[in-house]
Structure 1
Amino acid sequence: MKQIHRLDVRELINGNPLSRYQKRVILLGFIVIALDGFDIAIMGFIAPTLKQEWGVSNHELGFVISAALIGLALGAIFSGPLADWLGRKKIIINSVFFFGFWTIATAFSQNIEQMIFFRFMTGLGLGAAMPNMSTLVSEYAPERQRSFIITAIFCGFTFGAAVGGFAASWLIPRFGWHALMGLGGVLPVVFAPLLIALLPESARFLVSKRAPAAQIQKILQRLYPGQIAQDVEFILPAHPVRQSAVRIVLSRPYRFGSMMLWLVYFMGLFLVYILGSWMPTLVKEVGLTVSQAALMTAIYQGGGTIGSLFAGWLMDRINPHRALGVIYAVGGIVTMAIGYVSASFTLLCLLALIGGACLNGANTGMNALSARFYPTQARATGSSWMHGIGRLGAILSAFAGAEMMAMNLSFEAVFLILGIPAALTVIGVAAKGLFAPTVATQTPRAPDAISHPL
């Protein structure tokens, strides 16, 4: 009689402290999302120079920015099912190289039409990289720390955008906008080969796809040296569902939760983008100087890093739906309050800091909520679709902001109206928590290591 040991990969990861190998995966995730943030923010840095050199209008620049956002949405929506079919690593590496290549192409644009096309193609890669990287990292993170780890790697986005700002301040005056755009493309193209060498495929994904045991064992031996027996069968808590990832996301147990994730992320990104894009214009109209408007907006964006880390920390300690609901609610109340303190620049900055921390932080926390909700075989699709539909909210915010400005609404009225999408985020999180909490972990759990005679 030969004994075969069955090893639950999820329990193995949950039962061990973070290893050096896991920390490397987290670092690689942080860098990928930082490159993503650098590239997404790059148009804001080159826009003034572009207007001066090419004589383009704000309307034309809006088309360039919208093209990238549309690409982001489509890239996220289509890459998720591919990652659940072909693997997270393949999609991540190809998307990083893809957006790097097209960013380099953008540096050689000769007119605004070429730039619109190149930024759309860049957006396809950018949209695929972020949600799939967060999915892979989530599958290497112990569940007790998963929310904090995911929100920590998403701090790479603001880090990358900040690095882009410093690079722009030095490169553009000396070498022009082409140099900054070129740097934004060269960095990911150079980094892609390192990902090939250093980034592992998700062990959970390989188990769900019934990959050869030797392939899984090689990864887990590097993860936890000396803990993996030679004759072992790797399992997950439940047998993989024999459905495509898309069918799982839209199936009865997951459908309502998916719709609530889409609603909340759509409204959350709508809020963050409309405030980030239009706040400088709004506060200038109530008497602030250009420098004060820029400072207030920077404080609003800067609060996101603090808020993201806090959201992840809180989600690991209390019910994640309750944590995000409270954070979104505070963010919405503070946003509405901004409309009533225009006479005090200090108060405006304080509320901008709190509002930015809450709204940006809660949006980052949604990635952790999505990772908790879906099973391994549909996690990339669920996360990517949430990102793709959320990006539609970012696109809509550009038109909604312009419409509100055209209506000549008062400062107070604008911020009161923004309380509506904020309220919808709270309602959506609460509804998901009540009616679709965490289906992925409700399946029977397999023992950690069981010996069965053959």
Structure 2
Amino acid sequence: MVNAQPVNVTDVIDRNPVSPFQLTIVVLCFLIVAIDGFDTASIGFIAPVIRAQWQLSPAQLAPVFGAGLAGLMAGALVFGPFGDLVGRKRLLLACVLCFGAASAASAWSGGLHELIAWRFLTGLGLGGAMPNAITLTSEYCPSRRRSFLVTTMFCGFTIGSALGGIVAAELIEHFGWRSVLVTGGVAPLLLLPLLAWRLPESVRYLVNAGKRAEQVTRLLTRIAPHEDYSQATFVAPHGKPAGSPVSHLFRADLLRGTLLLWLTFFMSLLVIYLLSSWLPTLLRTTGVSLHTAALVTAMFQVGGSVGAIVLGWLMDRFNPHYVLALGYALAGLFTAAIGSLAASPWLAALAVFAAGFCVSGSQVGANALSAVFYPTDCRATGVSWANGIGRSGSVVGSLAGGAMLAAGLPLPAMFMLIAIPAVVAAASIFVLGAWATRDVEGETLDTLAPEQTG
């Protein structure tokens, strides 16, 4: 039977079960973001060693952290649009090569300024890779399981962060701090040939870019081999972007959502980085040991990993906007509770776990939601710019903790202030959901109106 009808590649993905081919994409993108997590965590372990060896003050060392965050923000903003112009796979390979080579080269830094430059370049590659990994994963997942699979993939970041701390501690003890940077550089370079071989280009991008039908047929056959694609013409929602994909984010139908997503990402990452950076120091003010403070803080990452999977599962079954709004609202509640429970390590650990479950889990869910919100023609740009704007929130969060400590605020008051951005994120995503629901209902009424009047 010859299929002469146009084949919508999105419908093919949605109506078929998840294949081993699609799971391979999830795993490969998981490995990419896990390396990001390793890099983020390991730099915190090598910083004190560098400070002692090079005899640096805390103020001199601070730009090492700032350079990485600045690189992440710039990479997301600059490289994101290229994913929509040249393809997700090409950009991912280029970014993995960039941050792998930069991390390895940074191991031979002869001084502080050289290390800062290499950290910026490492962040640049990581900033471009993560949003495109989210985009590619999303475009190969059926809509009914998209949120769960994307959030599970993104758990690679928290797992990589946990492994980064363990591995970095062992490497520093036996081989010195430079070995951590070598490991962070060699791992992605070893992964690169596997990505080039096994990672496909987005099938939706290929259709919109007008690529050969044979390429699309080969990819769809690996998802649904029982379907007939002979003589088929392939279509996908939205066409090839005209002009800069960045301008598409401000179209009339996307502008409100773009601004609300940016506000959500900014507030969410502000809370996450503030707690990740300053929670051990804040807990130490209660008199607990450094070991206890570290264990309590670790519950934040554990909660984030569990929360990402649970919230992703819920997002596929209920309105994802309202699931995330509830998550962020509860994050504000549990974050505020940390300040009152900090004197009791066990209760503080429970509150920190719950806060991580809600705010980190919701942030991963927000990444999945952004990939669904934007159409194919500007999806990589939309996800990347939301992450880039959000990274500016991480910078604010990293600085805010020090400012609150310097102000001498009581611990309960500090955590009440930290909770406010989480509540703002809840309100932002709730409004986005209300508007999205209203727009869908309006479209339904517009579709039914001609039938009812006819």
Tell me the TM-score range normalised by the shorter chain. Answer: over 0.9
User: Deviation string for 1:408-428 (max 9, x for gaps)?
Assistant: 111011011112211110111
Q: Which residue of 2 aligns with 1:247?
A: 247
Q: Which residue of 1 aligns with 2:452?
A: none
Mark the runs of 5 or more structure 1 residues left unpaired by the alignment: 445-454
Q: Which residue of 1 aligns with 2:434?
A: 434
| Aligned residues of 1:374 and 1:440 also touching (Cα < 8 A) | no
- The alignment status of 1:140 with 2:140, answered yes or no, reads yes
| Aligned residues of 1:147 and 1:316 also touching (Cα < 8 A) | yes
CA distance in 2, matches of 1:57, 1:439: 55
Change in Cα spacing, 1:225 to 1:438, as seen in structure 2 (3 Å) is farther
CA distance in 2, matches of 1:103, 1:441: 50
CA distance in 1, matches of 2:77, 2:152: 24
State the TM-score, normalized to the length of structure 1: 0.94
User: Deviation string for 1:174-225 (max 9, x for gaps)?
Assistant: 1101111101100101111211111000001111112111121122122322
Q: Which residue of 2 aligns with 1:312?
A: 312
What SS class does the counterpart of residue 7 from structure 1 fall into?
A: strand
What SS class does the counterpart of residue 185 from structure 2 fall into?
A: helix
Q: Which residue of 2 aligns with 1:413?
A: 413
Q: Which residue of 2 aligns with 1:180?
A: 180
CA distance in 2, matches of 1:243, 1:342: 53
| Aligned residues of 2:238 and 2:377 also touching (Cα < 8 A) | no
- The alignment status of 1:128 with 2:115, answered yes or no, reads no
CA distance in 1, matches of 2:443, 2:372: 13
Q: Which residue of 2 aligns with 1:358?
A: 358
Backbone CA RMSD of aligned residues: 1.9
| Aligned residues of 1:296 and 1:352 also touching (Cα < 8 A) | yes
- The alignment status of 1:11 with 2:14, answered yes or no, reads no
- The alignment status of 1:379 with 2:379, answered yes or no, reads yes
Runs of 4+ in 1 over 6 A off after TM superposition: 438-444
State the TM-score, normalized to the length of structure 2: 0.94
Mark the runs of 5 or more structure 2 residues left unpaired by the alignment: 445-454
What SS class does the counterpart of residue 248 from structure 2 fall into?
A: helix
Letter in 1 for 2:382: G
| Aligned residues of 1:263 and 1:428 also touching (Cα < 8 A) | yes
| Aligned residues of 1:73 and 1:127 also touching (Cα < 8 A) | yes
User: Deviation string for 1:376-415 (max 9, x for gaps)?
Assistant: 0110000000000000000111221111111011101101
After superposition, residues 197-216 of structure 1 pair within 5 angstroms as 197-216=197-216
Letter in 2 for 1:128: G
CA distance in 1, matches of 2:22, 2:388: 27
Change in Cα spacing, 1:442 to 1:148, as seen in structure 2 (3 Å) is farther
Letter in 1 for 2:179: A
| Aligned residues of 1:254 and 1:436 also touching (Cα < 8 A) | no
Q: Percent identity?
A: 42
Letter in 1 for 2:79: S
Letter in 2 for 1:401: G
Change in Cα spacing, 1:263 to 1:310, as seen in structure 2 (3 Å) is same
Q: CA deviation at 1:60?
A: 2.1
| Aligned residues of 2:304 and 2:357 also touching (Cα < 8 A) | yes
Q: Which residue of 1 aligns with 2:77?
A: 77
Structure ranking higher on relative contact order (CA contacts 8 Å, 6+ apart) = 1
Q: Which residue of 1 aligns with 2:448?
A: none
CA distance in 2, matches of 1:192, 1:442: 46
| Aligned residues of 1:373 and 1:439 also touching (Cα < 8 A) | no
- The alignment status of 1:160 with 2:160, answered yes or no, reads yes
Q: CA deviation at 1:289?
A: 1.4
Change in Cα spacing, 1:306 to 1:409, as seen in structure 2 (3 Å) is same
